[in-house]
Amino acid sequence: MTPDEKKKAVADAALAYVESGWVIGVGTGSTANHFIDGLAKIKGKLDGAVASSVATAERLKKHSIPVLDLNATGDLPLYVDGADESTKHLHLIKGGGGALTREKIVAAASKKFVCIADDAKLVDVLGKFPLPVEVIPMARSLVARRIVELGGQPVLREGFKTDNGNIILDVHGLSILNPPELEAKLDHLAGVVTNGLFARRPADVLLLGTDQGVKTLT
């Protein structure tokens, strides 16, 4: 199976978590896009969706799935999204697509977070994938210096602005042995909006696409 076939398989498997009359949270990226395309086939079941990015909102709307404001929905029963890396403890790195802040907000508002990914994303230790950190533009150099003090090598994502008008520093060279601790440390730096570690609110379920089929980790 190709990585894309695995992504589609896990996206299709995630449809089974959707119940009638729900408003659900929907993530961002190529795996989430497969999920959105699958949702289109069962859209009669859904009352609507909360999007974790402008791109996701546009794709949902193209399928005539109502896009709702999180301020109007309250907590959500379900959030489905991809990841860049996951451990078997379901600690994640997200934000390869730059949507980490809204993704973390929707995940925080959701009772169940189902992460969908191909098996290349499963790692023993997070950090080979550069950790995205969303930063207020005026704090770029300050945050970069503090990240160097923490042992990382921050690289500005060139020509990229988040949906919130901020920049991303991709942090290379990390071997993240304690994800909840690093997540908290980075969040406490002045000028950091969010970092791409999802460890204090990890996924609840990981659907992993493998050559042997979809594996469920909890």
**Distance between CA atoms of residues 175 and 143, nearest Å:** 19
CB of 132 to ligand 5RP, least distance (A): 7
CB of 111 to ligand 5RP, least distance (A): 19
CB of 3 to ligand 5RP, least distance (A): 8
Binding residues vs ligand 5RP (CB under 6 A): 27-31, 81-84, 94-100, 103
| 100 vs 126, beta carbon nearer ligand 5RP | 100
Other beta carbons within 10 angstroms of residue 158's beta carbon come to: 7
**Both tokens of residue 14?**
């995630």
| 120 vs 148, beta carbon nearer ligand 5RP | 120
CB-based contact 63:40 (threshold 8 Å): yes
Classify the C-alpha dihedral 79-80-81-82 as positive or negative. Answer: positive
Cβ contacts of 159 within 8 Å, gap of 6 or more: none
| 105 vs 142, beta carbon nearer ligand 5RP | 105
3-state DSSP assignment of residue 213: strand
| 25 vs 96, beta carbon nearer ligand 5RP | 96
CB of 82 to ligand 5RP, least distance (A): 3
Based on DSSP, count helices (H) and strands (E) in the chain, helices before strands. Answer: 7, 13
Annotated catalytic residue: which of 5, 58, 103, 149?
103
Cβ contacts of 188 within 8 Å, gap of 6 or more: none
Q: Is 85 a catalytic residue?
A: no
Among all residues, which ones are annotated catalytic?
A: 103
